[in-house]
Structure 1
Amino acid sequence: MHDHAPGRIGARGASNRRLLAASLGITTLVMVVQLVGAALTGSLALLADAVHMFTDAAALVIALVASVVAARPANDRRTFGYQRAEVFGALVNGVILIVLSIGIAGEGVRRLLHPAEVEVAGTLMLVVAVVGLVANAVALWLLSAAQRHSINVRGAYLEVLGDLIGSAAVIVAAVVIVTTGWLAADAVASLLIAAMIVPRAIGLLREVTSVLAESAPRGVQVREIRDHLLDAPGVVDVHDVHVWQLTRGAPVFTAHVVVAQAVLQDGRAGPLLAELQGCLADHFDVEHSTFQLEPAGHTEHESHA
């Protein structure tokens, strides 16, 4: 027997799509402003931030499409539905971030080695960077709650966070250029943006790998879950326990539960199943669980088979 909550997942998915669409609009607008600003000022940091915003816009489109696909109902071919599409969207986002950071770092080093080729209009650069900072802060606020429950939104959130920090770095570089005339600050800010992207991208890819490898979700202690189930009256043993996640916030649990003969003879299997599912939902936030109830002695037969 299993328990699933498609209503909650569907509502959450629709909400996530609205947030992703709003963030996409903000990101696209800021990207255009920064591209124009980079062209007018000659700032590599602004250009790097604009390219990052372009990548984020593409990643948000991927995330939005993945969210729509993930909302499709399960069928006989894909019995868990399409929630795993969110994970593949996050995988694409992580790879894009890595490639982007390498490109930014290469151009930043080139400008540091050839400073005579650099000319930057610091004042306009500062104005554009402030606009980007405010817009990124709004987008980050929109995604802050949903990113805790969706790995796909989490990827978009990390990218917007990178944009926010990048805009702050550009502001600092612009202030340095305006006040001191040290144009290399622009290249330094670009390298800083690249350095900030990499750890977040690696963290996202690590989480994607964990989901695809069907590892237990972070913070889930299988032994603790097993002990909770063993405390239920009539439960003799719990084995073949498996915990994994379809995507962030969608854990799946299966287990074989050995029960006393009296539980089956007295017709108490149904109430026991409800109690076990309630234990997982209340204590471990697992909405989808599957239990196989077995009479004592069935384990030996199962091993022989």
Structure 2
Amino acid sequence: MTGHDHAHDRHEGQGGHDGHGHGHGGPGGHSHGVDPNADRRWLAIALGLIGTFMAVEVTIGVMAHSLALISDAAHMLTDAVSIVLALIAMRLAARPARGGFTYGLKRAEILSAQANGLTLLLLAVWLAYEAVRRLLDPPPVAGGLVLVTALAGIVVNVAAAWCISRANRSSLAVEGAYQHILNDLFAFIGTAVAGLIVLTTGFVQADAIATLVVVVLMVRAGYGLVRESGRIFLEAAPAHMDPDAVGDRLVGHPPVTEVHDLHIWTITSGQAALSAHVLVEPEGDCHAVRRDLERLLAKEYGVTHTTLQVDHVQEELLSVGRAGDPPADPHCADAHGPVHREGPHAH
């Protein structure tokens, strides 16, 4: 979990400054603890509801020969696992940073979200195979049992979704558990419709069709979780932030003349971080520029975890080089990414 590339960077949050005007930390400090709204009690209640109903549903699904019910039960198993992972991740993320884990274990929740997404996708593949097989050779299905069980499942999932909605959904792990249960709610609605069709018309393929609807929902939710967690693991900028636009905004603040080695990444859900090397005019006040840029980043982009290395521009940089050329500053002999300068910017 790295994003800092300068030897001049200090541990953010110390509030110290060196002779070059290197600054660290946002003006408002940092809040890396677990959100107090992330109430473990609500997650535990949802887990109890889901676990109990899942055991009942598996039994009824086998008795009724309903793949839709069994698929719903399998989905509920992933619901239960996602809640357990969210609870573990919340506990790990609350631990203070120490030793080699300089950010603590805050990305445990991202691991949890990725595990949730992968289990949804893998389970969707198996259920799709079974559903197609049953479409071609449908077994007898007890429509009445399917309908009653699905209606009960709707009630249980509404209650579980309400419980999780009371927790901190800004956490990607909690949001992953919530998406699991929300998809399961839609799946139970589809299963109830299938049970009604089987009961009233005898069209047993409706059970397999309902399963395929569940598969589509699972793929959609699973892909979303894997994509979002993957962006964080690959140190991508938050989806709502354009690094080029941020760099142009920073270099547009006088007396800044250049911004390079700009990195924006996400530590964990809702905690973006930024580091950059900023060059200012020879007569500029490095300390004042750093404070101004920190306030700008906090106000306009919501980024308060910042590491800005601020130096005076070397005289030769004012007259030598074209836009897009790597800086001649010995601090950054191997610059990363585009260089943002006054006037035409290189991207």
- Give the structure-2-normalised TM-score: 0.78
Q: Is the Cα contact below 8 Å between 1:16 and 1:67 reproduced in 2? A: no
Q: Deviations over 1:34-81 (max 9, x none)?
A: 223324433221111011101221222122112211221111311111
The equivalent of 1:189 in structure 2 is 210
- 1:216 offset after TM fit, Å? 0.9
Q: Deviations over 1:69-103 (max 9, x none)?
A: 12211113111111111111112112211221122
Call closer, same or farther: CA 1:134–1:274 in 2, change over 3 Å. Answer: farther
Q: How does 1:41-52 map to 2 (within 5 A)?
A: 41-52=64-75
Q: Is the Cα contact below 8 Å between 1:229 and 1:276 reproduced in 2? A: yes
Q: Is the Cα contact below 8 Å between 2:95 and 2:105 reproduced in 1? A: yes
Structure 1 residue 198 and structure 2 residue 248: aligned? no
Q: Is the Cα contact below 8 Å between 1:13 and 1:67 reproduced in 2? A: no
| Alignment coverage as a number of residue pairs | 299
Helix, strand or coil: the match of 1:261? coil
- 1:142 offset after TM fit, Å? 4.0
Q: 1: distance between equivalents of 2:31 and 2:213?
A: 40
Aligned-pair identity in percent equals 37
Q: How does 1:1-305 map to 2 (within 5 A)?
A: 1-3=23-25, 8-12=31-35, 15=38, 17-115=40-138, 118-144=139-165, 149-264=170-285, 269=287, 271-297=288-314, 300-304=329-333
Q: 1: distance between equivalents of 2:333 and 2:145?
A: 76
The residue type equivalent to 1:149 in the other structure is S
Q: 1: distance between equivalents of 2:208 and 2:90?
A: 37
Q: Deviations over 1:201-232 (max 9, x none)?
A: 12221222211111111020112222332343
Q: Is the Cα contact below 8 Å between 1:13 and 1:71 reproduced in 2? A: no
Call closer, same or farther: CA 1:17–1:279 in 2, change over 3 Å. Answer: farther
Unaligned stretches of 5+ residues in structure 2: 1-22, 318-327, 335-347
State the superposition RMSD in angstroms.
2.5
- 1:146 offset after TM fit, Å? 6.0
Helix, strand or coil: the match of 1:238? strand
Call closer, same or farther: CA 1:6–1:293 in 2, change over 3 Å. Answer: closer
Unaligned stretches of 5+ residues in structure 1: none
Q: 2: distance between equivalents of 1:175 and 1:149?
A: 38
Using the TM superposition, name which of 16-25 and 183-192 deviates more. 16-25
Q: Deviations over 1:80-134 (max 9, x none)?
A: 111111111112112211221122122222322322xx23222232122112112
Call closer, same or farther: CA 1:293–1:99 in 2, change over 3 Å. Answer: same
Call closer, same or farther: CA 1:52–1:304 in 2, change over 3 Å. Answer: closer
Q: 1: distance between equivalents of 2:157 and 2:279?
A: 53
Q: 1: distance between equivalents of 2:281 and 2:30?
A: 35
Call closer, same or farther: CA 1:195–1:43 in 2, change over 3 Å. Answer: same
The residue type equivalent to 2:205 in the other structure is A
- 1:16 offset after TM fit, Å? 5.4
